[in-house]
Structures are given as structure tokens and as C-alpha cells.
Amino acid sequence: DTEVTQTPKHLVMGMTNKKSLKCEQHMGHRAMYWYKQKAKKPPELMFVYSYEKLSINESVPSRFSPECPNSSLLNLHLHALQPEDSALYLCASSQGRASGRTDTQYFGPGTRLTVL
């Protein structure tokens, strides 16, 4: 099973709202990732968590706040977003540091976010 689930599938929010995106995997993976994908562009890495600790932040604005409450869950908290933040937000997971082989990432279906 290589399934990563994301909720919600679609989200519309105003610039003053606070919302959260959720990602879950039950593959025992210890690395989890958030990517952002604008229309007709490739995915771009935002954050990497390894063993529930933030290991990479690709200079993402503070209005995006990631959280990894346990090894299976990854959240992305959103606050005071701008219309240009509208995009597909993708979560991925991989075995992480413990993998003795190549660390293949498996992606969820994404959350389509629209900021009005």
C-alpha cells in the first residue's frame, strides 16, 4: 500500500480566514513533505519533516505553518493568505533516513486551495 491521503480535496478561503490542510500516511514512513504547485508549473518543495522534526523550510512565508503531530500525520496551517497563494498543495512521504535504499517519495492527491 503506497497511499497518502489529503483532506480536504478543495478549499476556498478568504484572506482573513484560518484553515488547515491535513495529510496522513500509514506506511511507516518517517519523512513527510509539503509541495506547492501553481497552474501549469511543476511542484515546488515547501517543507520537509524528518522523524517529526522540521528539517527543511524552503524560505516559505510565515503565513504557512507546518505541524507534524506524529509520524503518520502532517498538517499545514494557513492564516492571512493572499490570492497568489491559490494553488494545488501536495503532501508526500518517504521512508526517510532509515531507508537503506533510494528514498522514493509517494504523493497524495493534493488539496486545491483558492484564496479569495
Task: Please give the residue ranges that form the binding site for other proteins (CB under 8 A).
Answer: 2, 4, 6, 31, 33, 41-45, 48, 50, 55-56, 88, 90, 92, 96-97, 99, 101-110, 112
Q: Is the Cβ of residue 45 or residue 80 nearer to other proteins in the bound state?
A: 45
Beta bridge partners of 115: 13
Looking at the Cβ atoms of 18 and 28, the one nearer to other proteins is 28
Report the candidate in 94, 98, 95 with the shortest Cα–Cα distance to residue 107: 94
Shortest CB 104 distance to other proteins, Å: 6
Give least dist CB 58 to other proteins, A.
9
Spatial neighbors of 116 by CB under 8 A, at least 6 apart, are 12, 13, 14, 15, 83
Residue 42 exposed, middle or buried by CB count within 10 Å (0-12, 13-18, 19+): exposed
In whole angstroms, how close is the CB of 75 to other proteins at the nearest point?
A: 17
What is the grid cell recorded at 9? 480535496
Half-sphere exposure of 81 toward its Cβ, with a 13 Å CA cutoff?
24
Q: How far is the CB of 87 from other proteins (least distance, A)?
A: 12
Measured from the CB atom, the residue of 33 and 64 that comes closer to other proteins is 33
* Between 91 and 115, CB nearer to other proteins: 91
